[in-house]
Amino acid sequence: MAILVNRETRVVVQGVTGKEGRFHTSAMLRYGTKVLAGVTPNKGGERVDGVPVYDSVREAVERHPEINTSAIFVPAKSAPDAVYEAIDSGIKTVVVITEGIPIHETMAFVKYARYKGVNIIGPNCPGLISPNKSKVGIMPANVFSEGPVGIISRSGTLTYEVALNLTNAKIGQSTAVGIGGDPVVGTQFVQLLDMFRGDDETSCVILIGEIGGDAEERAADYIRRTNYNKPVLAFIAGTSAPPGKRMGHAGAIISMGVGDAASKIKRLSGSGVRVAQRPSELVRMTREALGLTT
């Protein structure tokens, strides 16, 4: 039934009355996502595209107890408090779109979320989508289609490019998750690979990584250690980046011989993952992994 978001997803949007919150709430509603409530302190009683606005998440959940997911569009200085509010209100999936949150703040709420058994997606992420079921965040829905390929990505734009190429080739996706480009994020490749492992709708997984950190290396070790039960393909962005140079995301920095593209590609390849040299190659590789005829 896909992972994290599906037809049972019920959403509250924190920061719903802001410019970004309004815009993307409307987009989620048009896609069919069940957005039941919005939250902005001191704006209770208003409506955004028919969605009732409350002063707190707790009030929203009391009025709509079926809410199980939050999308956070709150400015960086207030976003950590918004995450804690969502967690303490019993919400189990929290999608943090906000960028610019200090790393130490992210580390604290990610640790708290794990203690509470809550999935944090992000921060600084485009969110996630299970095509024809639900989308939570800012992903452009028109590039996705329903099918058997799971996508986990550190890059929003590369997610859209790969999904569009697959869709144009009539290869759909089960769930696409943008985990975020910050040095610390809530849910990593390993946790999502584990979720896709048990998903009957997913037959193949694509990892879209980039330089910086060791998330891809840890994913490779997990795939090898568990004898992963589905084919995994990958693309690593930043092969030409010089050591010590940050490219794009805050987390995309190479230092002290850790996090360069070559090491990631070597570790993934050594674990049986086929790594594309260019994103466009993933269509052909996915066809082969799924046993589809050209």
- pLDDT digit string, tens, across residues 224-247: 999 999 999 999 997 665 655 555
Catalytic residue among 24, 64, 104, 249: 249
**Residues 212, 245: contact at Cβ < 8 Å?**
no
Quick check: is 249 catalytic? yes
Beta-bridge partner residues of 70: 12, 94
The 3-state DSSP class for residue 139 equals coil
Which domains are present in the chain? Answer: 10-121 (3.40.50.720), 140-290 (3.40.50.261)
Q: What is the pLDDT of residues 38-60, one digit of tens each?
A: 999 999 999 999 999 999 999 99
- Name the region of 88 (left: φ>0; alpha: ψ -120 to 50; beta: rest): alpha
Sign of CA dihedral 109, 111, 113, 119: positive
Instruction: Report the 10 Å Cβ neighbour count for 257.
Output: 8
- pLDDT at residue 146 greater than cutoff 60: yes
Beta-bridge partner residues of 205: 150, 232
The span from the CA of 121 to the CA of 231, in Å, is 24
- Across the range 101-118, mean pLDDT stands at 98
The span from the CA of 108 to the CA of 105, in Å, is 5
| Distance between start and end Cα atoms, the chain | 27
- pLDDT at residue 82 greater than cutoff 80: yes
The 3-state DSSP class for residue 262 equals helix
